[in-house]
Chains A and B, each alone.
Chain A
Amino acid sequence: MIDVQTIRQDFPMLKNNPDLIYFDNGATTLKPQCVIDAVTSFYTHHTSNVHRGDYAIAAQNDALYDGARESFAKLLNCGAKEIVFTHNASASMNQVAYGLAHGFLKKGDVILTTEAEHASDLLPWYRLKEEYGIEIRYLPMDAQANLDLEAAKQCFTPEVKAVAAAMVTNVLGSILPIRELTALAHENGALMIVDGAQAVPHMKVDVQEIGMDFLVFSAHKMCGPDGVGILYGKYDLLERMEPVFMGGDMNARFQKAGTYELKHAPGKFEAGTPNIEGVIGAAAGCEYLMKIGLDNIHAYEKQLRAYFLEQMSKLDNIVIYNPDNEYGPITFNAEGVFSQDAAGYLASRNIAVRSGNHCAKVLHEILGTDSTIRASFYFYNTIEEVDRFVSAAADITLENAIGIFF
């Protein structure tokens, strides 16, 4: 399936930190050498701007930058011109929110979302509520952030014009029935917007099979560089949509009277010099993942998680919040120890995890706890790391957590 020891050779971070257990992949992922090389080579061998130069190197960068759309189109099974590059998943979501508020939605329309969403899939909608009178309603979920599709059906009133949900929730890793939810949205005349930040890096996401109207995610969570977000949109919707940013490169022509004509999608959404190194690196990361195979990655991670869950469940001092989910991070607390203190103790054992509310600040109302520890994996993590992690987790006590300061 996956030869993890060979794969680990591709990651300089792992070689340079042989004792580090990196279980914070939900926050960001490590970068393989091919991504680092792609970024470096842009500065050492072929620096230029894009879409502006009449020389060979500039043409090479045009081909690499716009060619990156082909890589992501292959990954998602869509057209290259349906791929917009932004600065991160939040930027992609803000573009969708702005676009919906200008020409798609009107005051009193409703957006359905969930209480398990990351801030990037809530705050843009909260602004629409505040500024445009768009209403927000939440789809019902259980304590492990799983969606009840039957109950969801009841939420579709005629005012519902859009549904926004994460395909995989970032705290609990619950996989939402996105295909069914998309079908439900479409049956009710609503648009489907999917946050794929925790899904696209870990599983095959076919936008034609699922049918969502928009999908946002970020390159850095899938072995790519920081500062690159991807926005997939159905082409006719992208063509109808207003861009958030106006400026260079996105216009076709403009006159001093203040009139202008914009480029077609995706160009009109990419104002100013883009993150060229980042996009080229993101494409290298995307190709790298496709070479390993998203299905292989998904199967390996599931296996690793199952083993991790089995071992962690044996510990008396650990409470796990998402034992029934078969995929994604393990979210837990050590009894009597505040999550940040526990994460501090794990850090003293050379383990990187995330503690806190994971930017999902309304989720605690469902979970019944204010903050948790999230251990999130990727395909380069190993069974041996899980074993070391579990033995460290067994030692999380209040005394040990305070002990790191002495």
Chain B
Amino acid sequence: MSELETMLEDPQVLRELIMDHYKYPHNHSLTEDMKYRKVHMSSDSCIDDITVQSDIENGVIKDIRFDGVACTISTASTSIMSDLLKGKTIEEAKAIVDQYMNMIDGKEYDPSVLEEAVAMKNVYKQANRIKCATIGWKAIRQMIEESEAEHE
């Protein structure tokens, strides 16, 4: 187990990770740049209302941004996602999203590819918060699928 993986076993570390990403979310501003794709996520839940943008070029996710009104779990999970998937190929990203969704569903998953996203590993115990933990991840998945459909 790497040093990072050991650290990510510690509940206190995970709690602080969520808190940090909530208070100081990464990639937390939208751009007017027309080359970005955009998904507005609000219909799934009564409260969360976030927009996620991505720049996907030649099968690589070059940038991810987001903004909006959301709870700690939505904000932190989307912030972590934006760090984790930026720079990945869409194949890599899809594999990571699959592992993340497995974790959120309480299924078997590979923590090594999820890095900080393992902070969300207990969310499946609070069924009403699963939507929060997946809102940003569903947005990027949708944009990956759109980009694939356009290049087929």
Residues of chain A in range 312-369 having any CB-CB distance to chain B below 8 Å: 338-341, 344, 355-357, 359
Report chain B residues within 8 Å CB of A381: none
A346 to chain B, nearest CB (A): 13
Residues of chain A in range 360-391 having any CB-CB distance to chain B below 8 Å: 370-371
Do B126 and A398 touch (CB < 8 A)? Answer: no
Judged by a CB distance under 8 angstroms, whether B47 is at the interface is: yes
Query: A357 to B45, alpha carbons, bound, how many Å?
Result: 11
The contact sample of 18 A-B pairs, CB cut-off 8 A, is: A338-B71, A339-B71, A340-B47, A340-B132, A341-B72, A344-B126, A344-B129, A355-B47, A356-B46, A356-B47, A398-B19, A399-B15, A401-B72, A402-B19, A402-B72, A404-B126, A405-B120, A405-B126
Judged by a CB distance under 8 angstroms, whether A406 is at the interface is: yes
Q: Count A interface residues, CB 8 Å.
A: 19
Once A340-B47, A355-B47 are accepted as A-B contacts, the answer to whether A402 and B18 lie under 8 Å apart by CB is yes
Report chain B residues within 8 Å CB of A103: none
Interface of B is mostly: helix
Judged by a CB distance under 8 angstroms, whether B70 is at the interface is: yes
How many pairs, one residue from A and one from B, have CB atoms within 8 Å of each other in the complex?
A: 51
A167 to chain B, nearest CB (A): 24
Once A355-B47, A356-B47, A357-B46 are accepted as A-B contacts, the answer to whether A398 and B14 lie under 8 Å apart by CB is no
Query: A356 to B128, alpha carbons, bound, how many Å?
Result: 13
Q: Count B interface residues, CB 8 Å.
A: 23
Residues of chain B in range 58-84 having any CB-CB distance to chain A below 8 Å: 69-73
In the complex, residue of chain B having the shortest beta-carbon distance to the beta carbon of A342: B71
Do A405 and B123 touch (CB < 8 A)? Answer: yes
Report chain A residues within 8 Å CB of B71: 338-341
Query: A398 to B20, alpha carbons, bound, how many Å?
Result: 11
Query: A401 to B75, alpha carbons, bound, how many Å?
Result: 14
Report chain B residues within 8 Å CB of A401: 72
